[in-house]
Amino acid sequence: MVSRREFLKGVATSGALLAFSGFQKRAEAILTNSVADLKAYGFGELFPTPAKNTGEIYLALPKGFQYNVIGKVKSRMSDGNLTPPAHDGMSTFLVKGELRIVRNHEVTGGRIPKPSAAIGTNPYDESAAGGTTTLIIDTKTNELVKDFVSLSGTLINCAGGKTPWGSWISCEETTLGKTVITTKDGQKQGGFLKPHGYCFEVPASSNSPVNPIPLKAMGRFCHEAIAVDRKSGIIYLTEDNKMAGFYRFLPNRYGRLQEGGKLQILKMKDIDNFDTRKGQKVGKSFTVTWVDIDDPDPEEADVDELAVFKQGAKKGAAVFARLEGIYSDDKGQIYFVSTSGGDNKGGQIWLYRPVNKDEGILTLIFESPDRDILDMPDNICLHPKNNLLFICEDSDYIGEGGTIDNYIRILTPNGKIADFAKNITEGFISGEFAGSTFSADGRTLFVNIQTVGVTLAVWGDWDKFRI
């Protein structure tokens, strides 16, 4: 067994200290079971706060913070369509001086095709009800100016990510397709007009539904989110499954994703099929490498959502638990989340740091020691003006040890957790937060409450944060 002194020494010398400086203090708190030492004051106590523009109460926030309600489900959009439900991943863009948001809708449609289910024109598959909407926001008032469908006919658009060239990559979290399958509980699924399980690119400048082209070279699996290394153009991808892989896509040409590229999956160097889901130590680093996925779009994905992952597993790929949120910082370091990872399944946060074109360093920078500290992290984003990592919770898994409450938490540079917001929507307190994203100036945080079907614009004094 590693001694306490040896463990802390290893933490202190971790290469990931370049990104997050609080490993030793956090490790000491975990080793002494001092949960209180992991809590930061943050912006202060949370209080029920009515929306400035509607008076509705969705959030408990610190004093001095406000929010507006925009883009509610079933509200009539500027293009005449009704706002779809299941708001999920999204990001902000500046387009000719306009603040725009491209927002996913994780619509399942019962996982069966429905005639004319598409949310807008020019659908990829008219029997699928997912896609994206684009919102234009008044930066002075944080009010909605215009909204419309920008991607139609896709399925279970969970998250995605922003590219440096001004587009949103929307990801399908399913591999259902033309084949009808029967689940273990006897339910029929599939039978769609087209195969699903792909990424789709949506330029933020588009003013109508884009031509939906599946980016098949980026893999057909249960996609969650992507993050792009601005310098290299490499795209990192997460997979939301109980047995999940961490992928990267090497495009043939920078920013030209339709021209194809190579899909790879992460493996620990000299360790085959390393299981990260349990028994890990905060601060421990691994040297990792990448192996090729020979067939990123296998036909058997229609009936086996792990068809791509299994290719990687045969080559020794590492195993993660439900990889979801992911974010790239300005240095090309990649933060990503294992929603149910860790010894108590409360969640892990990992940091990948490229070393050269073939290898990198992977470090566990946080693991939830207590569900009241962090409970099943999902989408994440960094504040553009500091190193505060904002974390959406998806913790409505009571039978699996989860809490009924959902928060937006903050991981600080010194490794502590602060509470920023709590969902207190009457009748929907267990609804998950999703799609956290800041405006480029850092003034406004936009976030969704998925089951409520609402987007919120939150602002206040971001400089008053206290450790």
Span 297-331, pLDDT tens digits: 999 999 999 999 999 999 999 999 999 999 999 99
What percentage of residues in the chain have a pLDDT greater than 70?
93
DSSP-derived secondary structure letter, 12: H
Rounded to whole angstroms, the Cα distance separating 388 from 15 reads: 19
pTM: 0.94
**pLDDT above 60: residue 11:** no
Q: How far is CA 101 from the centre of its chain?
A: 16
Q: pLDDT band at residue 15, thresholds of 50, 70 and 90?
A: very low
145 against 37, higher pLDDT: 145
Residues 437/458, Cβ–Cβ less than 8 Å: no
DSSP-derived secondary structure letter, 237: E
Q: What letters, b where the CB count within 10 A reaches 16 and e where it falls short, cover 35-53?
A: eeebebebbbebeebebeb
Q: What is the pLDDT of residue 399?
A: 73
**In the β-sheet with 285-292, what is the strand arrangement from edge to edge?**
223-228, 235-239, 246-251, 261-268, 285-292, 359-367, 348-354, 334-338, 323-328
Residues 212/123, Cβ–Cβ less than 8 Å: yes
Query: How far lies 178's CA from each of 56, 210, 302, in Å?
Result: 43, 23, 7
What is the domain-level CATH number for residue 26?
A: 2.120.10.30
Nearest to 377 by CA among 420, 297, 446, 432: 432
**pLDDT above 50: residue 7:** no
Tally Cβ neighbours within 10 Å of residue 211: 10
Residues 396/418, Cβ–Cβ less than 8 Å: no
Q: What is the pLDDT of residue 12?
A: 36
**pLDDT above 90: residue 26:** no
Burial tier of 407 (Cβ tally within 10 Å: 0-12, 13-18, 19+): buried
Q: What is the pLDDT of residue 10?
A: 39
Strand partners, 263: 249
Q: How far is CA 339 from the centre of its chain?
A: 10
| Cα R_g (the chain), whole angstroms | 21
Strand partners, 421: 408
Q: What residue numbers bound the domain in which 105 lies?
A: 4-464
Look up residue 69 and give its two tokens. Answer: 């309600």
What is the number of alpha carbons within 13 Å of residue 196 lying toward its C-beta? 38
Amino acid letter, residue 170: S
Query: How far lies 136's CA from each of 53, 71, 88, 165, 445, in Å?
Result: 17, 10, 17, 19, 15
Q: pLDDT band at residue 35, thresholds of 50, 70 and 90?
A: confident
What value does the mean pLDDT take over residues 419-448? 97
Q: What is the pLDDT of residue 21?
A: 52
Q: Between β-strands 348-354 and 359-367, what pairing exists: parallel, antiparallel or unpaired?
A: antiparallel
User: H/E element holding 87?
Assistant: strand 87-95
Look up residue 462 and give its two tokens. Answer: 């971001």
Q: How many structural domains is the chain composed of?
A: 1
What value does the mean pLDDT take over residues 355-359? 96
Rounded to whole angstroms, the Cα distance separating 10 from 76 reads: 56
Residues 222/177, Cβ–Cβ less than 8 Å: no
Tally Cβ neighbours within 10 Å of residue 355: 12
Sign for the CA dihedral angle at 326, 274, 364, 330 comes to negative
